[in-house]
Amino acid sequence: MLSASMSPSLRLAGLTPARLSPGYFALVMATGILAVGCQLRGWALPARALILLTGVEYALLVVLTVWRFVAHRGELAADAHDTRKAFLFFTFVAGTDVFAVGLAGQGHFVPAAVLLVVAALTWLVLGYTIPWAAVLGRTERPVVAAANGTWFVWVVASQSVAVAAATLEPHYEAARQGLAVVAVFSWSVGCLLYAASAIFVSLRLMLYPLEPRELDPPYWVSMGAVAITVVAGARIVEMESAPMVDAVRGLVAGMSVVFWCFATWLVPVLIAVGVWRHRVHRVPLTYEPTWWSIVFPLGMYAVAGMYLGRADDLPIVEWIGRTWLWVALTAWTVVFLTMLRAVFTTRQRDPEPA
């Protein structure tokens, strides 16, 4: 009943509990990473404004998610068992960690540490339950036919834990060794998950028919996952001496450069896919929550360039990251305004049943 009484415009934007996409926390990820990017550029006022907006978005989506769990548990469970949607639940982990990193950058270390604990525990739980519910526990075969860009969100969640742990490590002396283990562990798991996800998604693209509509915005996460792997690696390289960090520092530093090059290579590919989808095959550009899956990778690529350039003394990489931040900010502005237009539109639609 509550959902049926909500504004049709909210339903259009996907901001009602019944229709809430499990991937809507990509909005938090996108806004939060731009706050971090502005911090790196020294833009204090935009950084504060964006991190405040990130907090508002995070609180709103947590409330809507809890509401959905209480009042629309069937829809939520259906998403968790849907191979094409289930991995979007990991956007909660990534959004929580990105928010934590943004808060830590502005000196709010205690709430950042609490968010890291929440995200890390959720990552562990979802890391075992979601693959089982959506992939291993299903009778339909072959499951690879349903693989898509959302599978890379699991990688992003893993690397976000590494980024948050490495960010907080200098500020918690007593927990330094533990944070080092968490950072290296989740970075390593994320790297292997990327390889596995890339294999499954590549097999899907090569073995089964593909409609233009299926090459949707989450495929951009394939680049965002590489970019956040670069950020996590750069932060690990900067960490203080610890047995776990010292064992992999050289490897992580070298692999981070390789990953940044691959992320750079992916950008023109993904742009070409978008042109093919919308220009050649005329798939309409209408707002959907997955648009934030484009904005986040753009922002993460900018932050990756800045972090890597500073960590490995690569001025050209840092310059690319600093410049690319303008691209990410432009994309965020366009998508945010489009979302607001969807929320406040006066267009009427038939009420959705409760």
Note the pTM of the prediction, 2 decimals.
0.89
What are 328-334's contacts with CB under 8 Å, separation 24+?
A: 328/33, 328/34, 328/37, 328/295, 328/298, 328/299, 328/301, 328/302, 329/34, 329/37, 331/294, 331/295, 331/298, 332/30, 332/31, 332/34, 332/295, 332/298, 332/299
pLDDT in tens, 84-98: 889 999 999 999 999
Q: How far is the C-alpha of 317 from the C-alpha of 265, rounded, in Å?
A: 14
Looking at 223-227, 246-250, 285-289, 319-323, which range is the least confident one?
Answer: 285-289
What integer pLDDT is reported at residue 15 of this predicted model?
63
pLDDT in tens, 15-28: 677 778 888 999 99
What amino acid is encoded at 132 in this protein? W
CA 241 vs. chain centroid, Å, equals 29
pLDDT in tens, 149-164: 999 999 999 999 999 9
Contact 80, 132 (CB under 8 A): no
What amino acid is encoded at 183 in this protein? A
What integer pLDDT is reported at residue 284 of this predicted model?
83
Structure tokens at 293: 């899956």
For residues 238-266, give the mean pLDDT.
92
The CB density around residue 324, as the number of other CB atoms within 10 Å, is 21
The domains found in the chain, sorted by start residue, are 8-344 (1.50.10.150)
For residues 170-179, give the mean pLDDT.
91
Residue 236: pLDDT over 60? yes
